Chain A
Amino acid sequence: MTDMTDDIRKQKRFQFTRHSPTFRLEFESTAAEMQSRCPVAWSDTYGGHWVAASHEAIFDIARESEVLSNDHDVTNTKKGYHGISIPPAQSQYRGGFLEMDPPEQREYRQTLNTYLSPAAVNRWKPFVEALTRSCLDEVIESGRLDFVDDLANIVPAVLTLAMLGLPLKDWDIYCEPAHASVYTPPESPDFPRVMQGAMLMNQRLGEAVVEIREKPRPGMINALVNAEIVGATPPDHELIGVLTLLIGGGFDTTTALTAHSLEWLSEHPAERARLSAERDTLLDGATEEFLRFYTPAQGDGRTFSADCELAGTQFKEGERLWLSWAMANRDPSVFPNPNEIDFDRHNNRHTSFGLGIHRCIGSNMARMAFKTMLTQVLDRMPDFVTDPTGAAHYETVGVINGMQHLPATFTPGPRLGASFAETLELLQRACDEQRLAEPVTVRTASAKIG
C-alpha cells in the first residue's frame, strides 16, 4: 500500500454523534447518508475515530481479528488501547472477554461455551416458562402492566443469575444498576447514585467469587474461578469484569429487544394476530427480524493493532473504529426495504450479535428468553395495547437501543399458578436440587419445574 497523507486518508468525513438524542431520531437518514456517501468515514467526535456504516464494510473489517484489538488496557502496561467504548470508558475493570484479544479471549469463551450453547440453553426452557408465567400472573387479573418493569426486566435477570449460580432472590440488586448504568449519561444528576449502585453490584460479585471458590456450587462463576486462562488462575478483578459483561449482556439487551418488539406488535395488530396464529412457521423469522430492526447492542468499538487497508480505506495502528451493527442492519444492498419489519424476510444475515470471534456468547439464551416471553404474552394478553405517552425509550442509543418503561392495558384473565415470590423459591429449589447450572457436558437433562 502506498502511504497517503492523513488528509487524503481521512478525506471522507462525517460528524458522527451517536451519543446525542438527535442521533436516535435521525438514525434512518444518517444510516442512508453514510452508506451512500462514505461508507467508511472519519469523525472528529469523541476523540476522533473511524465509523463503518455499510454492511459490506463492516463484514469485511469486523472479522479481521489479526489487525483489530478489543483490548482495554486499564493498567496502561500494554499498548494503552481503550476496549470497545468510544469515547473511552473510565473503568478500573476490563469489560470481560469482550475487552480482550485471543488467546485470553478464546480461553474465557471456551470456559463458558458449555453453559451457553444451544443445547445448554434448551435445558432452561421449563425454568423460563415457569418464571414468565409467574410474572404474567402477577398482573393478569388487573388488566394492566409495564412490559419492562413487570416482565422484560425480570426474566432475563433471574435467568442470568441462575446460570451464574447466584441466589435468584438477589435479582433486583443487580437489575436496576445493570439497566440504569446503560441509560444514565455521565452528566445526569442521577449519575452518582447509579454509579454507587454499580459499585455495590461489583462488590457483591466480588463476594460471590470468594464464596463460590470456598464453597463450590454449579454455574458459570464456578467455571470461572476454576479456569486456567493462558496458564494461570485469573485474578478476582478480572473475573468481576467478566461477570459484569455477562450481566450487562444478559440483562439490558434482551429487555430492549422484548420491549421494542411488543411495542411494534401493539401498533400492528394484524401482524400480531398473524404471528400468533402462524407462530410455528413465523416465530423464528420474526425474532430475527426484530433483532435486525432494533439491534439492541448498537455497535462496538475496536482499535487497529496494525496499519492496514480494508474496505478501501487505509487505517493506522492505534486508530479507533466504531462498527455500527445497527447501520449494517439497515443496509438496502443486503436488506431490501431495510426500514420495514418483514417476518418473511429472506437471507436475514443480520449483525445484531456481532460478527467474527466476539459473536455474542449469550445469543441462544437471548432468543430463548425472548420467544418464551413473547409467546406467553400473545397467549395470555392477545389484545394488549401499549400506551405511547408512558413508553420511555432510552433518550440516547449510543450503546443500547433500550426502553425504560412500556405500560400497556389488556383484557384481564385468570391466574394460572403460584405467585412470583413462590415461583422464585420453587425455581431456586430446582436449581439447587437438580444442579441446573451445571454445564451441558455434566448435565444434559432439561429442568423439571413443579
Chain B
Amino acid sequence: MTVNNKKLRGWAKGYLFILPSIIGFSVFVAYPLLSSIYYSLTEWSGYDTPRFVGFDNFKYMFTEDPAFWPSVRATLYFVFLSVPLSLILGLLLAMLLNKSLPGIKWFRTIYYLPTVVPSIASLTLWLFIYQPQYGLANSLLRLLGLPEGTWLTSETTALPSIVLIGLWQVGSGIIIFLSGLQSVPQELYEAAEVDGAVRWRMALHITIPMITPILFLQLILGIIGAFQAFNQVQVLTGGGPNFSTSLLNFKIYSDAFNGRMFGYSIAEVWILFVIIMIFTAVTYRYSNRFVYYESDNAR
C-alpha cells in the first residue's frame, strides 16, 4: 500500500498538534515511571550516583524501618475513614439541595465556599481552630459545657480531626452529585408516583441506582486522592503524635528530602503505588455488581 504525500502531511499535522502532550507524557510521566523502577533498587542520597543494592530497600522497609508499618496503618485508616464519609455526606447534602426551595441557590453557594479556600489557607486556619486553649473547637465545646477535645494532640483523635477538615471541604463532591441528580429523567419519578411509591423508596430504587456511575467514579478518584494526602500532615502534625498521622505520601516526602534517602523513598513510592492499584482493581471488580449503566438497558 502506498501512502501519498498529502496523507502523510495530514498525519504529520495531527502529530504536530498533539506534540505538547507527547513530550509532556514522555518526560513527565513515562521517563520518571520507568527510571524509578531502577532507582527503587539503589542506595542514593540524591547527591551521589545511585548504587545498585538489589531488594535491600524493600527488605529494610518490611522488616526494619520502625515507621513503615505505622504509616501503612495510618494511611489505610485515613482512606477507610475519609473516602466513605465524604461520599455519603456529599451525596446526602446533594439530595437535600436538589429541590427548588426559597434560597436554595444561596445554600449551594455556601456549601461550595469552603472548597474555594486554598489548601494551605484552610489548613493553617484549622490549625488555629484545633489549638487547645484559644481555638474555636474547644471554645465551642466549653460554651456548650462539654469536655474539651484533644484534636491534633492525641494519637486517637489526630487522624479523625484531619478527616473532619476534608468533610468541611466536601463542596465539589456535592456539586458533582447534584449535577448527576439533576440528570436523572423526571419521568422516572412521575411514573413511580403514579404507582404510589413512597419518597424514600424512590430515593433507594431510582435515584441511587441512576447515579451509581457517578458514585463509582467519585469512589475511585476519592481513593486515589486520599492515598496521596500530604499537605494536611506537612502543615498540621508532621506525622505525629507517635506516627499516628504519618501518611505514606508524607513519609515518602520526608525520607527523600529530609532523610536524603532517594532510593529508599522511591521504593516506598512503588509500594504505595501497588497498594493504590490493588484498591482500584478491587473497587472495579466489585463495582460491576452495583453500577447501573443506562446503555445496559438497550441490550
Partners in one complex: no
Q: A-side interface residues toward B, CB under 8 Å?
A: none
Q: B-side interface residues toward A, CB under 8 Å?
A: none
